[in-house]
Amino acid sequence: MSKFFLFQDQKKCIGCMACVVACKSRQGLPRGPHPCLVVTVGPQWVGEQPRTAFTFMPCFHCENPWCVAACPTGAMHQRSEDGIVTVDPDLCVGCKTCISACPWGAPQWNPETGKAVKCDLCHDRIEAGLKPACVTVCPTQCLYFGTPDEIPEVRRERYAKARAQEN
Amino acid sequence: MQEQVYSLCFMCSVRCPIKVTVDNGQVQFIQGNSHVPGIGDSICPRGVAGISLVNDTQRVQSPMIRSGPRGSGQWRQVSWHEAYDYIADKLKQITDAYGGRSVLLGERTQLSTHVSKTFLRAIGSPNHFTHDALCKGSLNTACRSLLGYTDGQIGMDYANTKHLVLYGRNIFESIQVKPVRQFSEAMEKGARLTYIDPRVTVTATKAHRYWMIRPGTDLALNYALMHVIINESLYDGDYVDKWVSGFDALCGFVKPYTPDWAEGETGIPAAEIVDFARELASQKPHVIFHCGYRCASHENEIYFRRSIFILNALMGSIETPGGMFFKKGPAEAGGKPVRKLTDQDLPKPSDIRFDKVGTPDFPTPDPNHGVAQMMPQAILNEDPYPLKALFAYRFDPLSSIPDTNYTRQALDALDLIVSIDINYSEIAWYSDVILPESTYLERMDSPQQANGPKPQIFLRQQAVSPRYDTRPGPVILQQLAERMGLGEYFPYTTMEELVDWQLAPTGFERADFKEKGFVAYTDQKLLWDRKTGIKFKTPSGKIELVSSLLEEAGYPSFPAYQSMSRPENGADFRLVVGRCAQHTHISTQNNLYLNELVPHNSLWINAARAEELGIKDNDTVEVASENASGRIQARVTEMIHPDCVFMLHGFGHEVPRAERSYQKGVSDSLLMRNVTDMIGGSPALHETIVSVRNAGEKP
Ligand code: SF4
Ligand code: SF4
Ligand code: SF4
């Protein structure tokens, strides 16, 4: 499991995809690959109200990543210091094994370089004291980046606000 | 070497403050300017995608002169020198024969609009117009008729509101970053959202209350709300006593418009209308009935927009925390505003405007913007006089003015069309000369006088050098004026000189913007006392429900409600258009990143009606109006009212060189009728009836 965690408050997400574009622009990607994705379900009626669910899907940086296990060259690897799963473009031979191994469709094919590309949790940005690109730009600030143990606290705070409004 | 440049976005018209990370002369990342309160690092998808605008190889890369017939796509790449010579010679012939008034200049309002206005005045033409009427001309007139200010002088306090009411103002898809961020925070703290639209949008799916209203009947809903508010004395009595004139006339007028009556018009249950009025009354005055943008819908648009302001007035929410407020200028803070070229002593044109705004034929729209959709008929009928040349400055009459074929016919009658543009837009492609402008990331621009509770000045600072042989618009116009012997009103040769000239009276300097991208006149919030100090600019100094502006022009303040016609034929629908989060009007469809997300438009059609017509989801359908037809993919859904179909604005581009968007989807302007709200000034974009049939079938 990665030391870090990306958390999305679905209630606030408006499905604008600023995160998707930010991720692509940071990685300088052409048309095609999208290391993070916003999956839209709906709109559909929930009781009297129309509702849409937007789910933010980057890489989960799994505890035992199948992509890493499957990669024949060692290009896909998990960093020991923080558990971030990244692909080393120098070692990647573009065999697409990781793409078929990941159940979440996280690694993507970059047709320009012929190599795999994926969410690397913007480790260069994190190391520079910045937030990941997707989190940075989100207009509703529904994305939260932190360590897993911070999440319950964030969640609690947001839930408390919602409760206060109901009462 | 990495540096941070603070600037202003221009992917849409909002001009959000941005921070651009530049590395070795390349834009590396774009985010919000967190020095600006309320924005933080946030930016919308279009803003982030600015990076692919700068680097786009499909934009106009150097001046071009047409070498084949108009629209044929045959171009000669020329030097700036040659382009200027060509234009100047042609213009001289035209103005010698027909006078300066035969020249038109249309643009999207922008930071250097004062430069284009000056350019036209120097030529001796009154015919400057902006895209504003197409967007919100009627709103502008409504606002002036009640408050004495234009809509642009009014802001909303999203952060502190208790209830936001939106009529098709799709706040979460037509994104302005600051309001979205502030209002989503307000919602977390308990603010309520009511959304009214014949179509379910993302905003609808976030709302506490959503009404799928019958298209075009929002005015009926508002009259019923007024009825309940007055009947049950739910209004802010002190505020109304002090600030509202014509209240008695309103009381008499709305008597017959009961909730039961409105239910029949709108389809919204009467009891819900009553509940809604009561809820709002309990939250007043911290409520906002949002007056909208891109609110050019119907021929009676002006009265609908007026009704929104009247509801705000009844709630006492104008110039109130959590309501609307008037934007305060530098004078309120004891400062001097940024100077504009139009502040100079310029020649005054003696002719009336091409659109007749300001004459008894068309007295009430704002002459500051003019009425763009009058252009085709003015050209074709030579009424009021012959028009022979058009400058289209980032304004595209072919996709923005309804009825494209009619507009094209008018353009054919012109002797000269010059586009100043970044992209190969429809109009650029149809021009005689294209003068390529540098993108907003490649140029400094005129300072933005940003009025508000804390008046500020923002500066669009250049982030990178131009990728191609392009120039900033104000420099292009200065050079052209110079070439035509009209240089005296343009006291600059570079953007830096222009900015310095403009800043001179303010006491601020260019260097002051380096660190944060803006300067403030004060650190105090300037609010007027809502009990005693609101300075309405109407003749009576009050909110004029009975409007002197309208009545003096011979229009009633409260005409009887007229029911919106329902499409009669079984295959007929009212065409409704709108926006998505990923595109701006007509200008981003070819952007690499945005095109990937939303490559074309589709036609939303109500599931039950689609079934009657034998149309299934994803079928190709033919949608036809009295003007034209097109083929488009159907999106069959329960999420739209049976009376209308919906499509995104701005698709169906016909320019081969803009490869990504070429012939994707259907252009709404092609289908629409060119009809106008003659009091407010907006085109009535939702007055077109279309028929829809499955394109697989033979008729
Ligand atoms: S930027 Fe934020 S609001 Fe927009 S889709 Fe991404 S997560 Fe959702
Ligand atoms: S790419 Fe897939 S398998 Fe690999 S870490 Fe990410 S989610 Fe897990
Ligand atoms: S953390 Fe970085 S790489 Fe991962 S989805 Fe967000 S922007 Fe993309």
Average pLDDT over residues B291-301: 92
Q: Residue whose CA is closest, atom 2 of ligand 2?
A: A102
Q: How far is B76 from chain A (nearest CA, A)?
A: 30
Q: Where is average pLDDT lowest: A1-5, B60-64, B585-589, B609-613?
A: A1-5
What value, to the nearest 5°, has the Cα angle with vertex B516 and ends B515 and B520? Answer: 120
| Rg of chain B (C-alpha set) | 25
ipTM: 0.95
Q: Position of tokens 């109500």? A: B606
Asked whether residue B698 carries a pLDDT value surpassing 60, the answer given is no
B48: which residues sit within 8 A by CB, 6+ positions away?
A18, A21, A22, A25, A137, B30, B31, B593
Lowest mean pLDDT among B70-84, B232-246, B375-389, B521-535: B521-535
Q: Is residue A56 lining ligand 1, measured as CB closer than 6 Å?
A: yes
Regarding the beta carbon of A122 and ligand 1, being less than 6 Å apart is answered: no
Nearest-CA distance B274 → chain A (Å) = 18
CB B466 within 8 A of CB B414: no
Q: Looking at this protein, which amino acid is placed at residue B132?
A: D
Residue with tokens 């949790």: A121
- The Cα-based distances of B125 to B99, B354, B692 in angstroms read 8, 10, 44
pLDDT of residue B294: 84
Contact assessment for residue B427 and residue B419, using Cβ atoms and an 8 Å cutoff? yes
Assess whether pLDDT exceeds 60 at residue A167: no
Place of tokens 């310029």: B346
Q: Label residue A123 by pLDDT band (50, 70, 90).
A: very high
CB-based burial, B118-140: b 16+ in 10 Å, e otherwise? bbbbbbbbbbbbbbbbbbbbbbb
Q: Please give the pLDDT value at position A158.
A: 74
Are residues B371 and B357 in contact, defined by beta-carbon separation less than 8 angstroms? yes
Residues pairing with B482 in the sheet: none
- CB-CB: which of A18, A24, A162 is closest to B44? A18
Percent of chain A residues past pLDDT 70, beyond the cut: 96
Mean pLDDT of the residues in chain B: 96
Most B CBs within 10 A among A12, A21, A167, hence the mutation to make, goes to A21
Q: Which residues of A touch B48 (CB under 8 A)?
A: 18, 21-22, 25, 137
- Count helices and strands (H / E) in chain A: 6, 8
Residue reference for tokens 């300088």 = A28
Q: Cis peptide before B384, with omega less than 30 degrees from 0?
A: yes
Residue for token pair 């300001």: B358
**Pairwise CA distance, residues B256 & B223, whole Å:** 9
B298: amino acid identity, one letter: H
**CA-based angle B504:B507:B508, to the nearest 5?**
90
Asked if B48 lies within 8 A of A21 by C-beta distance, the reply is yes
The CA-based diameter of chain A, rounded to the nearest angstrom, is 58
> Is the CB of A67 inside a 6 Å radius of any atom of ligand 1?
no
Query: pLDDT-based confidence at B653, cuts 50/70/90?
Result: very high
Q: Which residues neighbour B54 within 8 Å (Cβ) at sequence distance 6 or greater?
A: B27, B439, B441, B442, B464, B467
* Residue of A98, A104, A123 with the most ligand 2 atoms within 8 Å of its CB, for mutation: A104
Of all helices (H) and strands (E), which one includes residue B417? strand B416-421
Confidence of residue A150 (pLDDT cuts 50, 70, 90): confident
Q: Which pTM was predicted? A: 0.95
| A140 and chain B in contact, CB less than 8 A | yes
3-state helix, strand, coil in chain A (%, to 5): 30, 25, 45
Q: Do B43 and A18 touch (CB under 8 A)?
A: yes
Report d(CA A141, CA B42) in Å as an integer: 8
Q: What is the mean pLDDT of residues A117-140?
A: 96
**Tens digit of pLDDT for each residue in B467-525?**
999 999 999 999 999 999 999 999 999 999 999 999 999 999 999 999 999 999 998 88
Closest of B522, B391, B463 to residue B125, by C-alpha = B391
Query: Dihedral (C-alpha) B22, B27, B31, B33: value to the nearest 10 degrees?
Result: 50
**pLDDT at residue A1 greater than cutoff 70:** no
* DSSP 3-state of B154: strand
Q: Which of B41, B161, B171, B201 to mutate to test the interface with A (most CBs of A within 10 A)?
A: B41
What is the model's pLDDT at position B565?
87
Ligand closest to A105 (CA) is: 2
Which residues of chain A does B175 touch, with a Cβ-Cβ cutoff of 8 Å?
14, 16, 139
In contact, B54 and B27? CB cutoff 8 Å: yes
Q: What is the rounded CA–CA span in Å between residue A9 and residue B259?
A: 38
What's the rounded Cα separation, in Å, for the pair A55 and B151?
A: 37
- Inter-chain CB proximity B188 and A164 less than 8 Å: no
Shortest CA distance to A22 belongs to which of A130, A126, A134, A132? A134
Six-digit token string for B309: 């302001």
Long-range CB pairs of B408-415 (<8 Å, 24+ gap) are: B409/B376, B409/B380, B410/B375, B410/B376, B410/B377, B410/B379, B410/B380, B411/B70, B411/B379, B412/B70, B413/B379, B413/B380, B414/B379, B414/B387, B414/B388, B414/B389, B414/B390, B415/B90, B415/B93, B415/B94, B415/B388, B415/B389
Check CB contact under 8 Å for B206 and A141. Answer: no
Pairing of strands B103-107, B389-393: parallel
- Cα-only R_g, chain A: 17
pLDDT of residue B699: 44
Residues A35, A119: Cα–Cα separation, whole Å: 5
Q: How far apart are CA B368 and CA B231, in angstroms?
A: 40
Phi-psi region of A30 (alpha: psi -120 to 50; beta: other; left: phi over 0): beta
- Reply yes or no on whether the pLDDT at B536 is more than 80: yes
Least Cα distance to B283 among B242, B312, B246, B257 occurs for B312
Residue A165's pLDDT is 63
* Alpha-carbon span B642 to B91, nearest angstrom: 51
